[in-house]
Amino acid sequence: MGEGPALIKELREKTGAGIMDCKRALSESGNSVDQAIKLLREKGLAAAQRREGRSAKEGTISSYIHPGSRIGVLLEARCETDFVARTDVFQALVKDLGMHIAATGPHYLDRADVPESIIESEREVYLAQAKELNKPEAALKKIVEGKVEKFYSDICLLEQPFVKDQKKTIKELLLEASAQLGERVDIQRFSLYRLGDS
């Protein structure tokens, strides 16, 4: 089929996947580039999730200063090898993460870092708000838990929607980077600075 090589070339340019992976994905998707991209992403994410237990001891500490110099971020991003830490893909990811943190101002890395006392306090507020709506008792718990989940996605970096693509969370962005780079990629810690904050 004449268009096979052209489709493989297009798919490789869009995904960075190997030739044989592109051939298989196109074959499985009936030569649909969009479906092949989806297949490659699913396989890559599955492999990335298997890497989560691996040790990531290399990486970089990066700074991001927002235009106007009133907001700054220090960020420690990790991967498994120094080679990957120096790649353009990893460096671009770290820059995007710094910009995202400056834009959204998360307080915690993930939900495990949020003190239980804060969550309990939020639950009490949400329960009082839900009762004001005169909802049935059975609905109150669902309303409260829905608001708690939203609270986590507001204050926890890994659960926030990525500012450049609201359809994916930061955790999903890291999984995609891990799939693309072939190594575990994660954020170890971050600090956000705003001029005038104590």
pLDDT score of 74: 95
Rounded alpha-carbon distances, angstroms, from residue 69 to 66, 92, 105, 175: 6, 20, 15, 31
Please give the Cα distance from 154 to 89 (Å, whole number).
27
CB–CB of 123/117 below 8 Å? no
Rounded alpha-carbon distances, angstroms, from residue 110 to 86, 94, 197: 26, 17, 23
pLDDT score of 33: 83
pLDDT score of 91: 94
pLDDT score of 1: 41
CA 186 to chain centre: 9
pLDDT score of 21: 75
Sheet containing 186-194, strands listed edge to edge, beginning at the edge strand earlier in sequence: 58-65, 71-79, 186-194
Question: Which stretches of the chain drop beneath a pLDDT of 50?
Answer: 1-2, 46, 48, 51
Model pTM above 0.95: no
Dihedral, 98, 101, 104, 110 alpha carbons, nearest 10: 150
pLDDT score of 76: 95
pLDDT score of 192: 94
